[in-house]
């Protein structure tokens, strides 16, 4: 019996005894970051007395051989055997920046790989206003394999009287603000020209939480104290107003509050989250529902990007200017075959130079988004932004922009 078959057989026997399987539908393929097989089941296994050095070597070989989904679920299975295995697997698995692999949910909050674009695609459902992000090469490859690829994130659009919210979740079946799989949201203004990306947990120790009316109402409906309820601004997206009504592509700018401008330079670093925290509401000060309007407005922190002076040192992304094609009579960008349908939503983002002329690092496309079908769009991103940040920026392109068309 081969080594890989032996490993799979032993882990599979534990899974069958305790119902720890992966035979779920596509919408339920969410890798939970906290699951443990009971100790008594593991004690019945021949792996319980394995020397730590040998166990580490076994796990390293499994991690190296199962490098793509769906076979990568075997690495997650190893992390679910017991706490010792889990700690070893988390130590062995590298962040996407170094490995270009997405294993645990926290990978979606970590910067992508350097020098190469992660190829994903988004499927839009117009009926229920949902958007699903998948890890895959393209829709054609997914159709050929009868699989939609690895599900990553889901978002649902909620229209408010004065704004629009996009709630983002790890579970496509439970996309709500009160869900335990909630990881953040995107909020727009009334015109759809300015957006704020909120993370459910801080990206750095100095981040300030912003409490909105919806998050305060959630406190009354709380079922479990482990529901994340923080609103930490991590990015601000703005679209330039088209006052003259001239035809042409949209102009957008993204200020990444949590990423320094030096991150795109050689040797630069970006903040990397290591755990998906479940925030306790008791950590935040209580808000009275009977305060005056002036007091409530003073309780909310102001935006960190309210003025040009406050943007210094932060990474600013701007859309790459397209070129006018005389023969086609349209604006064109080189998406290297990843975009096949012309749309005003298509864009490429590059880093804007902080001071002085642009360098070679400012020519690299950090995020590109484009249409390939009626409700299918490609999303490719790389360091220093994460899959979560890239997804929220692309969601802003879906929103109706009355003053930008």
Cβ neighbours around 135 below 10 Å, total: 19
pLDDT category of residue 370 using cuts at 50, 70 and 90:
very high
Tokens (6 digits) for 275: 């755990």
List 158's β-bridge partners, or say none.
165
Q: What is the pLDDT of residue 304?
A: 43
Q: Please check whether residues 193 and 57 belong to one and the same domain.
A: no
Q: Please check whether residues 258 and 349 belong to one and the same domain.
A: yes
- The H or E element containing residue 20 is none
Residue 98 lies in a domain: no
Q: Is the bond leading into 70 cis (omega within 30 degrees of zero)? A: yes
pTM of the model: 0.78
**Total count of domains within the chain:** 2
Q: Please check whether residues 72 and 115 belong to one and the same domain.
A: no
Query: Of the ranges 193-197, 203-207, 343-347, which one carries the lowest mean pLDDT score?
Result: 203-207
Q: What percent of the chain is modeled with pLDDT above 90?
A: 39
pLDDT category of residue 274 using cuts at 50, 70 and 90:
confident
pLDDT category of residue 84 using cuts at 50, 70 and 90:
confident
**Distance (Å, rounded) from C-alpha 243 to C-alpha 250?**
12
Share the mean pLDDT of the chain: 76
Q: Please check whether residues 335 and 393 belong to one and the same domain.
A: yes
Judge contact between 256 and 268, C-beta under 8 A: no
30, 58, 93: which is the final residue of a domain? Answer: 93
More confident residue, 333 or 292: 333
Q: Which phi and psi (to 5°) does residue 216 adopt?
A: -75, -35
**Distance (Å, rounded) from C-alpha 120 to C-alpha 383?**
15
**Distance (Å, rounded) from C-alpha 134 to C-alpha 122?**
6
Residue 220 lies in a domain: no
**Structural domain boundaries enclosing 172:** 109-204+229-269+311-397
Residue 294 lies in a domain: no
Q: Please check whether residues 263 and 145 belong to one and the same domain.
A: yes
Q: Please check whether residues 61 and 150 belong to one and the same domain.
A: no
**Distance (Å, rounded) from C-alpha 46 to C-alpha 342?**
58
**Distance (Å, rounded) from C-alpha 280 to C-alpha 201?**
11
pLDDT category of residue 90 using cuts at 50, 70 and 90:
very high
Q: Please check whether residues 260 and 139 belong to one and the same domain.
A: yes
Helices and strands per DSSP (H, E), number in the chain: 10, 14
Q: Please check whether residues 185 and 255 belong to one and the same domain.
A: yes
Residue 161 has pLDDT above 60, yes or no: yes
- How far lies 179's CA from each of 174, 221, 224, 225, in Å? 7, 11, 10, 12
């Amino acid at each position: 019996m081969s080594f890989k078959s032996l490993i799979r057989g032993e882990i599979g026997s534990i899974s069958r005894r305790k119902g720890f399987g992966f035979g779920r539908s596509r919408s339920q393929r969410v890798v939970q970051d906290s699951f443990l097989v009971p100790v008594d089941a593991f004690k019945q296994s021949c792996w319980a007395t394995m020397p730590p050095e040998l166990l580490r070597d076994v796990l390293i070989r499994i991690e190296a051989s199962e490098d793509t989904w769906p076979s990568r679920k075997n690495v997650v299975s190893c992390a679910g055997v017991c706490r010792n295995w889990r700690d070893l697997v988390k130590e062995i698995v590298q962040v996407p920046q170094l490995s270009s692999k997405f294993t645990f949910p926290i990978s979606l909050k970590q910067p992508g790989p350097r020098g190469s674009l992660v190829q994903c695609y988004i499927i839009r459902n117009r009926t229920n206003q949902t958007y699903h992000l998948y890890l895959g090469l393209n829709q054609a490859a997914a159709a050929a394999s009868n699989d939609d690829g690895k599900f990553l994130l889901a978002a649902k659009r909620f229209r408010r009287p004065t704004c629009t919210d996009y709630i983002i979740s790890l579970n496509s079946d439970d996309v709500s603000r009160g869900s335990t799989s909630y990881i953040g949201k995107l909020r727009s203004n009334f015109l759809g020209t300015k957006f704020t990306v909120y993370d459910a947990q801080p990206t750095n120790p100095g981040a300030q939480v912003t409490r909105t009316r919806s998050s305060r109402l959630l406190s009354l409906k709380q079922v479990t104290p482990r529901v994340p309820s923080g609103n930490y601004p991590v990015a601000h997206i703005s679209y330039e107003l088209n006052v003259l009504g001239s035809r042409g592509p949209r102009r957008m700018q993204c200020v990444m509050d949590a990423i320094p401008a030096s991150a795109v330079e050689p040797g630069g670093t970006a903040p990397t989250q290591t755990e998906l925290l479940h925030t306790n509401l008791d950590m935040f000060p209580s808000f009275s529902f009977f305060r005056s309007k002036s007091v409530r407005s003073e309780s909310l922190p102001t935006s960190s990007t309210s003025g040009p002076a406050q943007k210094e040192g932060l990474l600013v992304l701007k859309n790459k200017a397209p070129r006018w094609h005389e023969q086609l009579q349209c604006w064109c960008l080189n998406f290297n075959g990843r975009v096949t349908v012309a749309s005003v939503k298509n864009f490429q983002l590059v880093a804007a130079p902080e001071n002085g002329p642009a360098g070679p690092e400012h020519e690299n496309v950090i995020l590109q988004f484009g249409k390939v079908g009626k409700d299918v769009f490609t999303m490719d991103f790389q360091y220093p932004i994460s899959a979560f940040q890239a997804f929220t920026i692309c969601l802003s392109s879906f929103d109706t922009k009355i003053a930008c068309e």
